[in-house]
Amino acid sequence: MTKTAQHTPGPWEVERIALSIPAEDHQDHILWIGDSNHTSICDLYYRDRDADGELEMWAFKNHEANANMISASPALLVALKGLRRSTFVSHPDGQKSLEKYIDLADAAIAKAESRDDG
């Protein structure tokens, strides 16, 4: 018997938290990813300055992009499963069903790419 892994149902969201460190010239940041019930999926930690005190904007942009991709996962899964069903199952309302899942896929892709197309 094959078991399918279960994940925390979506939607997932990203919350940004900055932690000030007294007597230090940097901030540690946390990108928390979780659901609307505050169930934690994962945390991404990073520091905004390197050892020489130089601002590292690439770190913020990279971690932000990763957090958006992770938080889009449940929506991407739903959209892709729906597209798969709509593509291979013919029924009277197939075109309308396909359009619905294409819209869901577009919204999930926009979330993963940190765009607001809605």
**How many independent structural domains does the chain possess?**
1
Instruction: Flag the least confident range among 62-66, 103-107, 108-112.
Output: 108-112
Q: What value does the mean pLDDT take over residues 17-37?
A: 77
Residue 103 lies in a domain: yes
Residue 117 lies in a domain: no
Q: Does the pLDDT of residue 24 top 70, yes or no?
A: no
Residue 70 lies in a domain: yes
Task: Calculate the dihedral angle through the C-alpha atoms of 19, 13, 71, 34, rounding to the nearest 10 degrees.
Answer: 70
Q: Does the pLDDT of residue 95 top 80, yes or no?
A: no
Residue 1 lies in a domain: no
Neighbouring C-alpha atoms within 13 Å toward the C-beta of 92: 0
Residue 104 lies in a domain: yes
Residue 65 lies in a domain: yes
Residue 22 lies in a domain: yes
Residue predicted with more confidence, 10 or 85 = 10
Q: Does the pLDDT of residue 35 top 70, yes or no?
A: yes
Nearest Cα neighbor of 15 from 39, 47, 51 is: 39
Nearest Cα neighbor of 62 from 83, 87, 45, 81 is: 45
Residue 62 lies in a domain: yes
Q: If pLDDT is split at 50, 70 and 90, which confidence band does 76 have?
A: confident
Residue 13's pLDDT is: 92
**Distance separating alpha carbons of residues 91 and 88, to the nearest angstrom:** 10
Q: If pLDDT is split at 50, 70 and 90, which confidence band does 46 have?
A: confident
Q: What is the pLDDT of residues 57-73, one digit of tens each?
A: 667 778 888 888 899 88
Residue predicted with more confidence, 59 or 23 = 59
Residue 28 in contact with residue 7, Cβ under 8 Å? no
The domain in which residue 86 lies consists of 12-112
Residue 33's pLDDT is: 92
